[in-house]
Amino acid sequence: MQMGLGRMGLAPSSFYNLTLAELRMASAGYLDAYEGRERMEWERARWMTVRLIMPHVKKGSKLQAQDLGVFPWEKPEPGIKLTKEELRARLENRDTWHV
């Protein structure tokens, strides 16, 4: 109830007419949108900081926003690293993939 009525601002009648699956999807969408806004605010603050310190940086240097820091969502996700041969072998055997 706290999420639906409080944070999401649903009317009680709308909240009580939702199925559990619909509430989960609405909550997930709300949280994704909230996270997106937060990311945008952090990126805007970093960009503004770069612009504010640019006059004080050595002439000719190329200061980038990510030079001040890299956010967790900007870091590459760890994954499986394949060689070209391994990738080629997997692609050739794609008819064995199951969806």
Question: So where are the chain's domains?
Answer: 1-68
| Gyration radius of the chain's alpha carbons | 23
Q: Whole-prediction pTM value?
A: 0.63
Length of the chain: 99
Contact 23, 37 (CB under 8 A): no
Q: Give the residue among 29, 23, 28 at the shortest CA–CA distance from 5.
A: 23
Q: At CA 97, angle to CA 95 and CA 99, rounded to 5?
A: 120
Read off the amino acid at residue 76: P
**What are the pLDDT digits (tens) for 6-62?**
999 999 999 999 999 999 999 999 999 999 999 999 999 999 999 999 999 898 888
What's the confidence (pLDDT) of residue 79? Answer: 79
What's the confidence (pLDDT) of residue 93? Answer: 77
Contact 49, 68 (CB under 8 A): yes
Q: How far apart are the first and last CA of the chain?
A: 37
